[in-house]
Amino acid sequence: MSFRQPRFPAMPPRAAEEAARVVVVGAGLVGLTAALDLARRGVPVVVVDDDDTVSVGSRAICFAKRTLEIYGRLGLGARFLEKGVTWKVGRVFHRDRETYSFDLLPEEGHEYPAFVNLQQYYAEAWLVEACTETGLVDLRWRHAVTGIENGAQAVRLAVETPFGAYALHADWVLACDGARSFLRRALGLRFEGQVFQDRFLIADVRMQADFPAERWFWFDPPFHPGQSVLLHKQPDDLWRIDFQLGWDADPEAEKDPARVSARIAAMLGPGRPFELEWVSIYTFRCRRMERFRHGRTIFLGDAAHQVSPFGARGGNGGVQDADNLCWKLAAVLSGEAPESLLDSYDAERIPAADENILHSTRATDFITPKNEAARAYRDAVLELAARYAFARPFVNSGRLSRPYLGYGEPAPDAPILRQGRPDWLLRHIGADGGFTLLARGEAAETGIRTLIIGRDIEDHSGLIAERYRLAEGEAVLIRPDQHICARLPARERDAILSARARVLGR
Amino acid sequence: MISDPDAFYAALMDAHRGLSPEESRRLDAKLVLILADRIGDLPTLLEAIAMARAAGSGPVADRLAKEAPRA
Ligand SMILES: Cc1cc2nc3c(=O)[nH]c(=O)nc-3n(C[C@H](O)[C@H](O)[C@H](O)COP(=O)(O)OP(=O)(O)OC[C@H]3O[C@@H](n4cnc5c(N)ncnc54)[C@H](O)[C@@H]3O)c2cc1C
């Protein structure tokens, strides 16, 4: 069982000049997520991509709980759970022994676990299917954007296809065209940050192995002295192995399959046949744009910010950008909110990107010590950690992606009974695209979708009580992206409506 | 104040005996981490870092001496 790389057909332009309300540039993980989110809200979207397939090589593999909840809201959660490898234990090795292990301790009572490992191409292929099924997403493969005029009233995109060029006039453009973003460069926007002076060999290896579904990280192992190695399990008997190579490594020579195979054989030991599926060499960077919204062109995902993969914050962060922006854009398009609501995307997601960059920078600095002192401290931490628990929190092989809390806590999930049947709370929050009021006791009639505990849903596990701490007569107002935005008396209609109006920027 | 500074100092010197410069450096790093854990108070630790950077001479210390607290 393995993935078959799809090739999507390219279509000729329909006309020399076309218009669309929303154009997503880039059908990568983030662009496809944004397109599906908008389509689920009834907004038709044109998506253009310069390529004709999904991610080549698996790239992102670790999908975090919040991301899974977003895919749950978009109707794809079950596929991630079914196909993905759920894991929660990480082990850290130093030289020839295990230093310690950690459990991400996912509390019980959430539909989604802390992490699921899945190749990015599966996620993208499912997103393409789901987008197509909505009938609202016009996916255009091998339509490359080659020019942009970012006007105050509309954006004009020049698009090239194998059949000729055309112009696409958009009210709004979501720039999801990846780390090398053409749109960002074409608009002359800065993308600054730090390059880590190190190279990493990333390999996906196919083998039958009975290693557990855990994250294993080695510092200075005997099979790869002086450097670090990471091992992760993926579905389809695929294993992700990252070898740190150092700055002096020759990227071309290192890609030689014989050389890569020798490294892997040294790691796995004799008698373990394997096949190389994908090999790539990376130098990692952390950087972001100063602002993500530029009038009618809004940047998301790697186009807006880039991190090193330690902590799995790139794809997860980008999906959370889409989660944050799409309901706002839909509200602006429907006239429910003023355009200024879109500025809150910047205000909310720039600090989130900074947090991701901070964590990923610190992890990379730990893994790649910059000088003698940094190396001495790193090794000191590892030596202490093997013996003393106090030193373990210093070990940083990647602080794994967690939601940013700066604009409210994502509504926690909880098992519920609905009409006597087991169900999950989050499935009923934001599912209709709007705000949700979750209340204990009588609630005012507001027109907002209201869930009354004890009437509409049953908190049989007591976990809603524990996680929301609602007093009798109290409610929380939850945004369409499942973030809690207000806590207020359930019966006060005006207070509830004005809280919603405030969140909508009115 | 430690009751017997000389004894502590001697123990510190003893701990480094026979170590290569690299091993010494790692030993000191381990000590710093253990002591930091015992102190357990971030502002105190940041103050200690500033004090260490400011003491002594040379362009860096001279610049930092102005900002660092005097304990
Ligand atoms: C080795 C590795 C491991 C990683 N591991 C993880 C992980 O475990 N978890 C995680 O969350 N993230 C991980 N990431 C990061 C993750 O892969 C990226 O953050 C994610 O792909 C970003 O998605 P995106 O849609 O913003 O950009 P991309 O996936 O790069 O998509 C951009 C799309 O835009 C298209 N495009 C570009 N230019 C144009 C143009 N001019 N016109 C039209 N289309 C265009 C491209 O063809 C592409 O389809 C990893 C990355 C790497 C390299």
Q: What is the pLDDT of residue B56?
A: 82
Q: Is A31 helix (H, G, I), strand (E, B) or coil?
A: helix
CA of A117, closest atom in ligand 1: 8
CB-CB under 8 Å, B25 with A373: yes
* A435 domain-assigned: yes
Q: What is the pLDDT of residue A24?
A: 98
- The predicted model gives B16-45 an average pLDDT of 97
With an 8 Å Cβ cutoff, the interface of chain B facing chain A consists of 22, 25-30, 32-34, 37
Q: What is the pLDDT of residue A16?
A: 97
Residues A429 and A336 in one domain: no
Show residues of chain B in contact with A381, CB under 8 Å.
29, 33
Give A219-254 pLDDT, tens digit per residue: 999 999 999 999 999 999 999 999 999 999 999 999
Q: What is the pLDDT of residue B69?
A: 62
Q: What is the pLDDT of residue B70?
A: 59
Q: How far is CA B19 from the centre of its chain?
A: 18
Report the nearest-CA residue for atom 14 of ligand 1. Answer: A60
Give A74-121 pLDDT, tens digit per residue: 999 999 999 999 998 999 999 999 999 988 876 889 999 999 999 999
Q: What is the pLDDT of residue A203?
A: 95
- Cα–Cα distance measured from residue A316 to residue A68, given in angstroms and rounded to the nearest whole number: 9
- Cα–Cα distance measured from residue A158 to residue A318, given in angstroms and rounded to the nearest whole number: 25
What is the pLDDT confidence band of residue A388, given thresholds at 50, 70 and 90? very high
What is the pLDDT confidence band of residue B66, given thresholds at 50, 70 and 90? low
Show residues of chain B in contact with A219, CB under 8 Å.
none
From A342, A369, A384, the end of a domain falls on A342
Give A249-302 pLDDT, tens digit per residue: 999 999 999 999 999 999 998 889 999 999 999 999 999 999 999 999 999 999
Residue B59 has pLDDT above 80, yes or no: no
* A475 domain-assigned: yes
Q: Sign of dihedral through CA atoms A47, A49, A54, A60?
A: negative
Helix (H) or strand (E) holding A476: strand A474-478
Residues A319 and A430 in one domain: no
- The predicted model gives A312-333 an average pLDDT of 97
Residues A164 and A290 in one domain: yes
Looking at CA atoms only, how far is residue A385 from chain B in angstroms? Answer: 10
Q: Are A276 and A205 in contact (CB under 8 A)?
A: yes
- The predicted model gives A314-339 an average pLDDT of 98
Find the largest Cα–Cα distance for chain A: 71
Q: What is the pLDDT of residue A180?
A: 97
From A342, A370, A388, the end of a domain falls on A342
Strands A214-219 and A89-94, sheet pairing: parallel
Q: What is the pLDDT of residue B65?
A: 67
Angle at A278 between CA A274 and CA A282, to 5 degrees: 125
* CB-closest option in B26, B27, B33 to A391: B33
Q: What is the pLDDT of residue B57?
A: 72
Domain count of the fold of chain A = 2
Q: Are A193 and A306 in contact (CB under 8 A)?
A: yes
Q: Are A252 and A201 in contact (CB under 8 A)?
A: no
Name the A residues in 162-221 with CB < 8 Å from any B CB.
Answer: none
- The predicted model gives A362-383 an average pLDDT of 94
Residues A77 and A158 in one domain: yes
* A479 domain-assigned: yes
Show residues of chain A in contact with B33, CB under 8 Å.
377, 380-381, 384, 391, 394
- Phi and psi at A83, nearest 5°, equal -90, -35
What is the pLDDT confidence band of residue A428, given thresholds at 50, 70 and 90? very high
- Cα–Cα distance measured from residue A496 to residue A487, given in angstroms and rounded to the nearest whole number: 9
What is the pLDDT confidence band of residue B34, given thresholds at 50, 70 and 90? very high
Quick one: tokens of A505? 């920027």
Q: What is the pLDDT of residue B63?
A: 72
Q: Are B13 and B27 in contact (CB under 8 A)?
A: no
Report the nearest-CA residue for atom 16 of ligand 1. Answer: A315
Residue A306 has pLDDT above 90, yes or no: yes
Report the nearest-CA residue for atom 50 of ligand 1. Answer: A60
Residue type at position A132: T
Residues A66 and A157 in one domain: yes
From A327, A342, A357, the end of a domain falls on A342
- Cα–Cα distance measured from residue A172 to residue A150, given in angstroms and rounded to the nearest whole number: 10
Q: CATH number of the domain that A481 lies in?
A: 3.40.30.120
Residue A361 has pLDDT above 80, yes or no: yes
Work out the burial of residue A38: count CB atoms within 10 Å of its CB; fewer than 13 is exposed, 13-18 middle, 19 or more buried: buried
* A99 domain-assigned: no
CB-CB under 8 Å, B34 with A376: no
Q: What is the pLDDT of residue A406?
A: 87
Q: Give me the percent of chain A exceeding a pLDDT of 90.
A: 92
Residue B67 has pLDDT above 70, yes or no: no
Residue A214 has pLDDT above 90, yes or no: yes
Distance A128 CA to ligand 1 centre (A): 15
Give A475-496 pLDDT, tens digit per residue: 999 999 999 999 999 999 999 9
Q: What is the pLDDT of residue A293?
A: 98
Quick one: tokens of A446? 């507001």
ipTM associated with this complex: 0.89
| Location of structure tokens 């510190």 | B12
- Cα–Cα distance measured from residue A442 to residue A204, given in angstroms and rounded to the nearest whole number: 55
Residue B60 has pLDDT above 90, yes or no: no
What's the domain range around A320?
Answer: 17-84+117-191+286-342
- Cα–Cα distance measured from residue A277 to residue A499, given in angstroms and rounded to the nearest whole number: 52
Angle at A141 between CA A139 and CA A11, to 5 degrees: 90
What is the pLDDT confidence band of residue A1, given thresholds at 50, 70 and 90? low
Q: Are A336 and A320 in contact (CB under 8 A)?
A: no
Angle at A156 between CA A165 and CA A131, to 5 degrees: 75
CB-CB under 8 Å, B37 with A376: no
- Cα–Cα distance measured from residue A379 to residue A405, given in angstroms and rounded to the nearest whole number: 32
- Distant-in-sequence, close-in-space partners of A318: CB < 8 Å, separation ≥ 6: A29, A30, A33, A176, A300, A301, A302
Q: CATH number of the domain that A64 lies in?
A: 3.50.50.60
Q: Is A255 helix (H, G, I), strand (E, B) or coil?
A: coil
Show residues of chain A in contact with B34, CB under 8 Å.
384, 388, 390
Least confident of A42-46, B1-5, B60-64: B60-64
